Structures are given as C-alpha cells and as structure tokens.
C-alpha cells in the first residue's frame, strides 16, 4: 500500500468516497472549532526525549481492566460505517481480530463472532436508550455477556444529536448512515432525502434521558466493567468513579457533538487529576500520529482510542486498510518510544512532555 501515514490514508479515502460520505466521516458540529482544537492541542505539547537509555527492546504492552493488550490503541465506536465500505462493522471487527486490537463495537458482529474472526477483546457500545427499564437492561446485558463481550461502553455525550452543518447543507438522509449512500443518477444527483438532517429543531425527547443513576443501575446489572465515554471535566471524571464506572474515556465525540468544548488532550490532565488513579482514564480525539499517543500517555492516559484513522483505512482498502492503519500507528508509537528513551509504558510519565512556551 502506498499510504505511509494516517494523513495519506485520509487523502485516499477522500478521493474514493462520495463527497457527502466524506463530509459525514470528517466533519464536526457547528463551527468545527472543537475539530480544530482536537488537533491543535497536540501541537502545543513538546516531547522531552532522554538519550542513552537502552531501548533495544521496546514493549508497548499493557493490562487494561484485566485484559492483556499488545498496545494501548483501541478502535472507537463509529456509526454509519456502511457509508464508507459495505458491511463496515464486520470489516473493522475482522481487522481488530487480526491485529489483536480491542474493538468497541456499535453492534452487529454476530457473523464474525460465529466465524471466530472477531477481536478476542471487544466492548459493546450503548447510549443508554435500551436501558430504560430493568428487564431490558438485564436482557441486553445477558445477551452480550453470553456472546463473550468484555466490557460495556456507555456513550454519554449524544443525548441530543448536534447541529452538523455539513450534513444539513448536504441534505443527508439519516437512514443512509445505516444503509450506505444510494447511487447517484446520470446527472450526478443523489435521491431527495425523506428525512434530511435539518437546522432549527428544538431539542426534546419523548422519554427521560439516561442519568448518573442509569450508570449505577447498569453497573449493578452486570459483572462486565462499564466504561463511560464522553467525559470532559474533573467533576464528571470523579462522578464516574462514584457511580461505579471501571474506566472513563476523555472524549468530545470526535468534535461531532458540542462545539467549543476544547481539545480532548487539553481536558485530559484535569480528568486524570480528579480520578487520581482510581480507574483507568482513556482518551480519544485527533490522534493521528504515534507521537500524539505518546503525549496522551505522558499526560496520564492509560490508552487511546481512534475512529477516523481506521475509517480512512477502511474507506481506502476495507479490512486490509484498517489493519495497515493500526500497524502504522503502533509502529510509530514504538519507534517514538525508542527515540524518546522510554522502552515501556511504565517509564512514560509527565516528565516526558512540556507545554510549548511554558
């Protein structure tokens, strides 16, 4: 494959995808200020390499919630994968299995579980919509426990769908995110959407939304660890511990939900401080390089998650592209650990970085 880094894969994905699908993959909400900040945040952090440390063996492995992982890079959940590649969730599931990556799945991986090609370690995503009563929660939990799921990832930042202006301008039909984009006609036009993404819709929901009590109930209903995804503040990091989460992910949903919340790498230190080692803190958002991962680990993340990078790989080459992206990121991380004089994850701490200008 010609792409040598995540950005090359992004260029290729953009070429291969319908522009409307590309916008759905790449875009953020409103002014995309957060999208910008997720990347810019990393540029403010500088690595302080240490020399003459023996790094002839570099070990990127870790144990996360009892799971032995070869490297601290996980696959984030991403809806709408069929817009980028047919049966996208299964492509990612097989790639995760092959590359031994922990996969946070949106669901629908029964085929790979049966084939035995799914990742050994996978977490099931939920947004809490199905956890409205105890019976439903129990049946959800029993089903995934029986399937061999290793954890439940509760996304907490999508109680209202944000204003995604690329989708509004493109008149993207919401259901195309599940079915994939229809073919364009001879004039190059997509069919007119029946329920296009719109502006000016007041946020209201027919039934109550999940709360911290929902998290506590979910934790009580299962022996699986519950991981809360979408934490941006010290206060909520602390609450995750109080309400029984076994880990949290500092995340702003890849800048696709609330705008103007700042980059996740900027939010990471306050969450790490508040959690104070009681549970692992993970982070995602804007990771494109091994050095980005190194910086996140230095600021206290136990592991990082990625979405767009593997989606670029999938849009370009399906399963093989996903595998190549994770391989590139893993090797970039290992290489930069070698260059920085930190041969294993235990030796990475805050002293490895400084903030530009400070």
Ligand X SMILES: Cc1cc2nc3c(=O)[nH]c(=O)nc-3n(C[C@H](O)[C@H](O)[C@H](O)COP(=O)(O)O)c2cc1C
CA dist 28 to 34, 89, 127, 285, Å? 8, 21, 19, 11
Supply the minimum distance, in Å, between the C-beta of residue 82 and ligand X: 11
Supply the minimum distance, in Å, between the C-beta of residue 66 and ligand X: 23
User: Which residue, 80 or 290, is less far from ligand X as judged by CB?
Assistant: 80
Q: Is 307 in the site for ligand X (CB under 6 A)?
A: yes
User: Which residue, 41 or 300, is less far from ligand X as judged by CB?
Assistant: 41
The full length of the chain comes to 358
Contact code string over 53-82 relative to ligand X, x by CB under 6 A: -----------------------xxxxx--
Q: Which span (9-17, 128-136, 219-227, 251-259) binds ligand X, by CB under 6 A?
A: 251-259
Give the active site residue among 160, 169, 253, 327: 253
**What is the C-alpha separation between 285 and 307, in angstroms, rounded?**
8
Angle at 347 between CA 344 and CA 353, to 5 degrees: 115
Q: Is 289 in the site for ligand X (CB under 6 A)?
A: no
User: Which residue, 229 or 246, is less far from ligand X as judged by CB?
Assistant: 229
Contact code string over 185-224 relative to ligand X, x by CB under 6 A: ----------------------------------------
Residue nearest to ligand X (CB): 254
Region of 272 on the Ramachandran plot (φ > 0 left; ψ -120 to 50 alpha; else beta) = alpha
Q: Which span (6-14, 94-102, 279-287, 332-340) binds ligand X, by CB under 6 A?
A: 279-287
**What is the C-alpha separation between 273 and 234, in angstroms, rounded?**
7
Coil, helix or strand at residue 46: strand
Site for ligand X in 12-31 (CB under 6 A): 25
Q: How many CB atoms lie within 10 A of CB 117?
A: 17
Supply the minimum distance, in Å, between the C-beta of residue 311 and ligand X: 6
Among 308, 313, 319, 342, binds ligand X (CB under 6 A): 308
The answer to whether residue 253 is catalytic is yes
Q: Which span (164-172, 185-193, 252-260, 267-275) binds ligand X, by CB under 6 A?
A: 252-260
**What is the C-alpha separation between 209 and 122, in angstroms, rounded?**
26
Joined together, the tokens standing for residue 244 give 């029984």
CA dist 249 to 81, 85, 217, 300, Å? 21, 27, 19, 12
191: Cβ–Cβ under 8 A, 6 or more apart, which residues?
173, 182, 185
Angle at 133 between CA 131 and CA 134, to 5 degrees: 95
Site for ligand X in 317-346 (CB under 6 A): none
Q: Is 257 in the site for ligand X (CB under 6 A)?
A: no
User: Which residue, 150 or 164, is less far from ligand X as judged by CB?
Assistant: 164
**What is the C-alpha separation between 178 and 79, in angstroms, rounded?**
8
Instruction: Name the residue among 328, 324, 253 with its Cα closest to residue 292.
Output: 328
- Catalytic center residues: 253
Contact residues for ligand X (CB under 6 A)?
A: 25, 38, 76-80, 106, 125, 155, 229, 251, 253-254, 256, 284-287, 306-309, 311
């Amino acid at each position: 494959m010609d792409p040598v880094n995540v950005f090359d894969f992004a260029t290729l994905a953009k070429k291969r995808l319908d522009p409307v699908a590309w916008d759905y993959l790449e875009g953020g909400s409103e002014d995309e200020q957060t999208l910008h900040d997720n990347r810019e945040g990393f540029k403010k952090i500088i690595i302080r390499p240490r020399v003459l440390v023996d790094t002839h063996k570099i070990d990127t492995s870790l144990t996360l919630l009892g799971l032995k992982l070869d490297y601290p890079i996980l696959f984030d959940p991403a809806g709408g994968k069929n817009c980028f590649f047919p049966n996208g969730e299964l492509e990612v599931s097989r790639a995760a299995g092959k590359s031994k990556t922990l996969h946070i799945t949106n669901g629908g991986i029964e085929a790979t579980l049966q084939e035995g090609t799914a990742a050994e370690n996978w977490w099931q995503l939920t947004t809490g919509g199905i956890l409205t009563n105890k019976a439903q929660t129990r049946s959800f939990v029993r089903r995934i426990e029986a399937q061999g799921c290793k954890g439940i990832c509760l996304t907490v930042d999508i109680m209202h769908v944000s204003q995604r202006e690329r989708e509004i301008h493109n008149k993207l039909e919401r259901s195309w995110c599940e079915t994939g984009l229809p073919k364009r006609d001879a004039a190059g036009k997509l069919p007119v959407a029946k329920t296009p993404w719109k502006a000016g819709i007041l946020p209201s929901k027919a039934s109550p939304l999940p709360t911290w009590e929902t998290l506590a109930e979910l934790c009580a209903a299962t022996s699986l660890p519950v991981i809360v995804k979408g934490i941006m503040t010290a206060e909520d990091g602390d609450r995750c511990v109080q309400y029984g989460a076994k880990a949290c992910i500092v995340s702003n949903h890849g800048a696709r939900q609330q705008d103007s919340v700042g980059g996740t790498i900027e939010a990471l230190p306050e969450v790490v401080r508040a959690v104070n080692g009681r549970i692992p803190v993970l982070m995602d958002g804007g990771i494109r390089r091994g050095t980005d991962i190194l910086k996140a680990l230095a600021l206290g993340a136990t592991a990082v998650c990625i979405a767009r990078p593997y989606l670029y790989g999938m849009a370009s080459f399906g399963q093989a592209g996903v595998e190549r992206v994770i391989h590139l990121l893993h090797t970039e991380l290992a290489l930069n650990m070698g260059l920085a004089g930190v041969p294993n994850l235990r030796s990475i701490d805050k002293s490895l970085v400084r903030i530009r200008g400070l």
